[in-house]
Structure 1
């Protein structure tokens, strides 16, 4: 398993706008080989920003890498740099990729 995360520092005055953009956005992820799940996470609030992280789980890093070179990736990110979003973010997103080395499941939920 491979987890890909982008962390976003969002202007506190524009949190509603940021969330609306993501809730209305077409991800183009469904049906892709190796894609497991996507989540947008809201994190702690700081004085100058609210931290968010997009979190995708992939069967392997190779599946994630293939997606980043696909037409689906280009479609999903086509409007990422729109100028009207100036001031929405405190800097560019910060990407972090993780290879899963251990998973612990709750057996009651696996039934």
Structure 2
């Protein structure tokens, strides 16, 4: 079964960048406890449309493992505070999911 990559892209206004980064970097990471989890990256991208792009990038053993995460207690715990507090992004995240067709490593 091929690996699956799940990404969320965020556009963050300049005045919210520090708080947005802290929200991600200071949280408890529950992904390691979920079957099929391979890796996670929190990415800072270029400036765009008056803000900065950020992305969360998660690699899963399969699409089914990703779906398992979205239906897990860990997912509910990780997203329990979503929507609470000050909005730090310019709109909702943009989700993109990809099935890995080729993976070349060093």
Would you say same fold, with TM above 0.5? yes
Q: Which runs of 5+ in 2 are unaligned?
A: none
Alignment of 1:1-111 (within 5 A): 1-82=3-84, 84-86=85-87, 88-106=88-106
Equivalenced residues, count = 104
Bigger radius of gyration among the two: 1
TM-score by length of 2: 0.94
The secondary structure found in structure 2 opposite 1:39 is strand
TM-score by length of 1: 0.90
CA RMSD of aligned residues (A): 1.0
Q: Which portions of structure 1, spanning 4 or more consecutive aligned residues, are displaced by more than 3 angstroms?
A: none
CA deviation string 1:20-72 (max 9, x = no partner): 00011112111211000111000001251100000000000000001100100
